[in-house]
């Protein structure tokens, strides 16, 4: 790094840290804070919200929240691991496990707590807990599933160059044709999260659901060592082929819809542009350009280096924010660490460059079906993006704004409101 371009790292860190001071303001928060660290608050709230679908208990997660420390990724993982491991001991207790149904939600909670424990672990790709915690969450989730009246089927659906990891959930055992929702996440969440958030509610309304993960997403990133790809039709089209062939007797093809969560708002829209068999699409929220959204979160000093194409300086300065002694906000540290891991690159510059391909520019005219586009009051990742998607889609789009206590990104902690709005729109649109 040339002396003339060395940044004042303390100034950079101070700038990055402003996000923390701003967002942790309890006065501005719509609900009680679960941590003074807004990113930890959001992470715990997301886990707690799964309680409505049998995926968590309340007090144990609140107790864990009490023990985590602002900005301390290691303690976060330790505290959540301890909760997960203790809860697992309960699920294994032969007196309690006399009937698998007695410990079904205990296993689901174990899985959820291991997923939360994994959230801030990507700083070191060689850290064995990245694999260990995930193996634990998969095994625990499968134990919970096995005790459901209609367990989901785990599927490996081949694509051109990789395998889509999916779970098929029939609404009922009777094999009648029913409406079917295909559910995908974005940057970081797992398909197992969506069981509690979405699938339980969908099944109660008579919908089948397929949840899936593609490259870059938690299980595929680990099991196939693949980072994100922008051409998401390579993930969704094979999944739809599979469902229409193997589940033909269960799927009402006139009521086949696709849902994209978080960065999945881009991924689902991209897939829909190449997938006329879909009759409706839901984007929570709308994401026109992943690159523009992530760039907007960079401190001005870093943005300047990026725009000037100074890749080495940009990498060095950005990586300094991840130093153990960094005071950069949890949101920035997590965003960069997770992004490098999920896009499978060690260079922050390369990561940001890669995201340039994740845009709806030039393809929105190919999206012919009705599209529901959500935005929310406290959106922190994709600010302004939903409106861009609505503008590009014109009268194909229905806009929904979540505010107040349902106003967090993807309605964290308010999944009842989220699902009743979504299924209201689906019913209105598809019958
Ligand atoms: C996890 O729990 C088991 C049984 O309760 C215990 O023996 C083990 O030491 C715990 N593991 C860790 C790493 O704390
Ligand atoms: C398949 O994956 C390999 C390695 O990741 C890559 O080089 C190749 O371009 C991919 N092929 C297609 C058709 O995407
Ligand atoms: C963090 O520590 C490294 C060396 O361990 C040092 O070079 C760097 O300047 C430190 N950063 C801050 C912000 O103190």
User: Residue 16 CA: which ligand is closest?
Assistant: 3
Instruction: Identify the three-state secondary structure at position 330.
Output: helix
The pLDDT value given to residue 9: 55
User: Residue 322 CA: which ligand is closest?
Assistant: 3
CATH number of 31-148: 1.20.1440.110
The pLDDT value given to residue 5: 39
Tell me if 160 CB under 6 Å of ligand 2: yes
Report the C-alpha gap between 131 and 351 in whole angstroms: 22
Atom 1 in ligand 1: residue holding the nearest Cα: 85
Tell me if 161 CB under 6 Å of ligand 2: yes
CA of 127 to the centre of ligand 1 (A): 19
The pLDDT value given to residue 23: 47
Give the residue ranges of the chain where pLDDT is below 50: 1-6, 18-23
Sheet holding 251-261, edge to edge: 153-158, 163-169, 208-213, 178-184, 251-261, 280-284, 371-376, 397-402
Report the C-alpha gap between 87 and 143 in whole angstroms: 13
The pLDDT value given to residue 18: 45
69: nearest Cα among 28, 100, 101, 37: 37
CB-CB contact of 55 with 112 (8 Å): yes
Q: Which residue do the tokens 């309960």 mark?
A: 90
User: Residue 316 CA: which ligand is closest?
Assistant: 3
Tell me if 249 CB under 6 Å of ligand 2: no
Spans of all domains in the chain: 31-148
The pLDDT value given to residue 24: 54
The pLDDT value given to residue 7: 52
CA distances from 262 to 102, 325, 335, 376, 411 (A): 33, 30, 14, 11, 10
Q: Which residue do the tokens 């009743």 mark?
A: 420
């Amino acid at each position: 790094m040339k002396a003339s371009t060395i940044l004042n790292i303390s100034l950079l860190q101070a700038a990055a840290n402003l996000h923390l001071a701003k967002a942790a303001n309890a006065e501005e928060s719509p609900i009680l804070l679960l941590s003074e660290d807004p990113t930890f608050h959001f992470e715990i709230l997301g886990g707690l919200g799964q309680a409505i679908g049998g995926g968590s208990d309340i007090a144990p997660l609140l107790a864990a929240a009490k023990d985590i420390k602002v900005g301390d990724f290691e303690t976060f993982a330790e505290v959540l691991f301890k909760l997960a491991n203790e809860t697992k001991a309960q699920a294994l207790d032969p007196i309690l496990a006399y009937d698998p149904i007695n410990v079904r939600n205990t296993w689901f909670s174990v899985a959820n707590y291991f997923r939360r424990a994994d959230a801030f672990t990507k700083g070191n790709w060689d850290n064995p807990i990245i694999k260990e915690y995930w193996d634990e969450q998969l095994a625990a989730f499968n134990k919970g599933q096995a005790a459901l009246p209609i367990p989901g089927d785990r599927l490996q659906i081949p694509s051109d160059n990789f395998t889509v990891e999916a779970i098929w959930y029939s609404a009922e055992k009777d094999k009648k044709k029913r409406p079917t929702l295909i559910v995908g996440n974005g940057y970081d969440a797992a398909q197992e999260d969506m069981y509690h958030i979405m699938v339980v509610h969908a099944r109660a309304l008579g919908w089948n659901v397929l949840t899936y993960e593609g490259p870059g997403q938690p299980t595929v990133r680990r099991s196939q060592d693949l980072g994100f790809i922008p051409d998401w039709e390579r993930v969704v089209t094979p999944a739809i082929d599979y469902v229409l062939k193997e589940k033909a007797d269960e799927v009402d093809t006139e009521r086949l819809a696709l849902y994209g969560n978080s960065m999945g708002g881009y991924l689902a829209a991209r897939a829909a542009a190449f997938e006329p068999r879909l009759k409706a699409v839901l984007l929570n929220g709308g994401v026109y350009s992943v690159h523009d959204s992530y760039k907007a979160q960079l401190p001005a000093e870093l943005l300047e280096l990026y725009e000037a194409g100074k890749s080495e300086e940009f990498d060095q300065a950005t990586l300094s924010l991840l130093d153990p002694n960094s005071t950069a906000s949890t949101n920035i540290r997590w965003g960069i660490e997770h992004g490098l891991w999920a896009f499978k690159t060690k260079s922050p510059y390369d990561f940001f460059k890669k995201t340039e391909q994740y845009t709806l520019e030039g393809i929105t005219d190919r999206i012919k079906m009705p599209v529901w586009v959500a935005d929310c009051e406290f959106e922190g990742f994709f600010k302004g993006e939903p409106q861009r998607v609505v503008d590009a889609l014109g009268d194909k789009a229905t806009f929904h704004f979540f505010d107040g206590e349902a106003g967090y990104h993807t309605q964290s902690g308010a999944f009842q409101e989220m699902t009743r709005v979504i299924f209201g729109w689906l019913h209105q649109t598809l019958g």
